Amino acid sequence: MTAVKDAGTLSSRMASADAAVTQTKNIRSRSLGHRIVTVTGPPVVVFFGFVGVWYIYSALVGETERKISSPYPHDVLDVAFFTWANLKELLQATWVSTKVSVTGLTIAVILGITFAVLMSLGRWVERSFYPYAVLLQTVPILALVPLIGLRWGFGFTSRVIVCVIISLFPIITNTLFGLKSTERGHHDLFRLHGASLGTRLRKLQFPAALPAMFTGFQISAGLSVIGAIVADFFFGRGEKGLGIKIRDYTSFLETEMLIGGIIFSALLGIVMFQIFGIAGRLLTRSWHESSGAGNT
């Protein structure tokens, strides 16, 4: 090491030494092709296995049973997906259910964050409200649905209320957990520089809570689709969503369409779940540990 330290060279020497450290981390692991095989491969195999078992089952149950409850997969595709009038019916029902669950989820997100923030601000707020948040989660939604229907009718409003109730809890708990997970040292830092509560919330706690919040949104997105379909199924009136259609198909023994309805319900849930997953990752990928940013 040089005796008299010139600041300029000292700094650049340090920087280049550390740059070397970062560089070595930059080696990409495995090829894209390899990743596709290892990541996408296994679930695809399981899928084909499932379809295979389905075929065997449909073949074994015999003609009558096959007509009533166990059509071949290709029959389902023919009727529900390759016949435009039927597909259109399912798409319309899916759209109705989408509107309900997205509205419900939006309200749940706003309410959930508000409650979580209030709970994070005061222990007594948390103590007062938390038991009821748990209650929301533990009361079987089907037990509440009739009451909601009687009070708010059997239309859009009631369906949305069901969605809100079913999806509120994960948002509250995950957001609250995220807001409280901020390190003590960070709080000290903000306090030392006279930051107000609002500033701390905005610049420290919210960004820190983002990953947990999005986990909550993701869980709730799936739940709100369930809520929309359950409410629909139970109320059975008004604009026809997937729930009503599923009920109708059951009563008319249109099994291919019933399975089509189930597939669309699942797809809606998956899409909603994934949207929040991707949004969350996009927002936090450059810095969050789980994103693997440190290794790329």
Partner 1 sequence: MSTAATTTAAALSFENVSMVFPDGTHAVDDVSFGIRPGEFVSVVGPSGCGKSTLLKIASGLLTNTAGSVELADDNIGYVFQDATLLPWRTVQKNVELFMELHGVDKAERAGRAAEAIELVGLNGFEGHHPIRLSGGMRMRVSLARSLTLQPPLFLFDEPFGALDEITRERLNDELLDLFRRENFAGLFITHSIQEAVFLSTRVLVMSARPGRIVDDFEVPFHYPREDALRYDAAFAELSGRVSEALREGHE
CB 165 within 8 A of CB 143: no
Structure tokens at 237: 């009136």
Helices (H), the chain: 7-24, 32-61, 63-68, 73-76, 84-121, 123-138, 141-152, 156-180, 184-192, 197-200, 206-235, 242-251, 255-284
One of 183, 252, 270, 282 touching partner 1 (CB under 8 A): 183
One of 118, 190, 254, 277 touching partner 1 (CB under 8 A): 190
The count of chain residues that interact with partner 1, using the rule CB under 8 A, is 40
22 binds partner 1 (CB under 8 A): yes
125 vs 283, beta carbon nearer partner 1: 283
Q: By CB under 8 A, which span of 162-170, 171-179, 185-193, 224-232 interacts with partner 1?
A: 185-193
38 vs 290, beta carbon nearer partner 1: 290
One of 151, 191, 197, 237 touching partner 1 (CB under 8 A): 191
Closest CA to 221 of 142, 276, 175: 276
180 binds partner 1 (CB under 8 A): no
Q: What span, in angstroms and rounded, lies between the C-alpha atoms of 63 and 74?
A: 15
27 binds partner 1 (CB under 8 A): no
140 binds partner 1 (CB under 8 A): no
Q: By CB under 8 A, which span of 56-64, 94-102, 204-212, 244-252 interacts with partner 1?
A: 204-212
11 vs 128, beta carbon nearer partner 1: 11
HSE, CB side, 13 Å, CA atoms: give it for residue 117: 14
Structure tokens at 150: 């009687």
Q: By CB under 8 A, which span of 46-54, 60-68, 111-119, 281-289 interacts with partner 1?
A: 281-289
One of 132, 134, 188, 278 touching partner 1 (CB under 8 A): 188
What sign results for the dihedral spanned by CA atoms 134, 140, 145, 147? negative
236's torsion region: left (phi>0), alpha (psi -120 to 50) or beta?
A: left
List, in order, residues 6 or more apart from 25 with CB less than 8 Å away.
294, 295, 296
29 binds partner 1 (CB under 8 A): no
CB 159 within 8 A of CB 228: yes
Chain contacts with partner 1 (rule: CB under 8 A) = 1, 3-5, 7, 10-15, 18-19, 21-22, 25, 183, 185-186, 188-195, 199, 203-204, 207-208, 210, 284, 286-289, 293-294
